[in-house]
């Protein structure tokens, strides 16, 4: 296993999937020349060219809509929205088009697209840049939502999302980009919709996702160091 950052895991997964499938392309604001606001797409424009790494105007409704059409015609676009808060500008395309086309056309078309976007608070980005809207999207029929907590999750879930024939929203908490963790060697996917038990115990069940998982594990480590977990088990 290799230890990498959450950011690097996302970058390497995008690159691997673009090498594996020529139908995978990236679309979003500043993802090419500027290499992305969070540098997830660094170097990919130089490697794959502007046909597969497409810089867009600041128009979320427009480029998400273009990705919906591209997906319906057989491509596998991965859209980067600079922050989940800006996804509200494209909510019609996400909720009424990407999520509904497969059912509305009786299964005659699929929409295999991914929307990658960071969210979460605590980064001093003000209220309009610090929301967690993924819970809303998780209630939208036809749309899948994943929120990786670790670099291993990030690789496995993003790979699964890109290969999925349904639209998938991949939430990346801003506070996780520089966190490090081990990822398994080789190619793998993490099943979408299956919970993982990341620590076993006997007294308390904590359900969390994304950064909440990381925080919960850190609390458990501190309790163990203080001897609290040992007392609970007696």
All structural domains of the chain, each given as residue ranges with its CATH number in brackets, are: 2-191 (3.40.50.970), 197-234 (no CATH)
Q: Determine the pLDDT at residue 136.
A: 93
pLDDT at 223: 83
pLDDT at residue 234 in the model: 41
The pLDDT value given to residue 229: 61
Residues constituting the chain: 234
| Three-state DSSP state, 54 | strand
Q: What's the CA gap between 141 and 54, in Å, rounded? A: 29
What's the pLDDT at 231? 47
Backbone angle region of 227, left / alpha / beta, with phi > 0 → left and psi within -120 to 50 → alpha: left
Positions marked catalytic: 60, 129
Tokens of residue 59, six digits:
């128009």
**Which two structure tokens, joined as six digits, stand for 73?**
């015609």
pTM of the model: 0.92
Q: How far is CA 135 from CA 94, 130, 195, in A?
A: 14, 14, 16
Q: What stretches in the chain show pLDDT beneath 70?
A: 229-234
pLDDT at residue 230, as a whole number: 58
């Amino acid at each position: 296993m290799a230890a990498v950052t959450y950011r690097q895991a996302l970058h390497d997964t995008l690159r691997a999937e673009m090498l594996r499938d020529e139908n995978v392309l990236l679309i979003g604001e500043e993802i090419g020349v500027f290499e992305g606001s969070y540098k997830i797409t660094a170097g990919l424009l130089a490697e794959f060219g502007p046909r597969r790494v497409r810089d867009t105007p600041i128009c979320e409704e427009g480029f998400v809509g273009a990705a919906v059409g591209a997906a319906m015609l057989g491509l596998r676009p991965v859209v980067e929205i600079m922050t989940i808060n800006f996804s509200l500008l494209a909510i019609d395309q996400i909720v009424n088009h990407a999520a509904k086309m497969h059912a509305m056309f009786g299964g005659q078309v699929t929409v295999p697209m991914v929307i990658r976007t960071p969210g979460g608070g605590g980064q001093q980005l003000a209220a309009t840049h610090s929301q967690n809207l993924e819970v809303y999207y998780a209630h939208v029929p036809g749309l899948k939502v994943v929120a990786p907590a670790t670099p291993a999750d990030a690789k496995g879930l993003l790979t699964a999302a890109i290969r999925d024939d349904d639209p998938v929203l991949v939430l990346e908490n801003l506070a996780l980009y520089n966190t490090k963790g081990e990822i398994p060697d080789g190619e793998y996917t993490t099943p979408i919709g299956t919970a993982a038990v990341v620590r076993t115990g006997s007294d308390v069940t904590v359900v969390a996702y994304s950064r909440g998982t990381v925080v919960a594990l850190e609390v458990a480590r501190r309790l163990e160091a203080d001897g609290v977990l040992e007392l609970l088990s007696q």
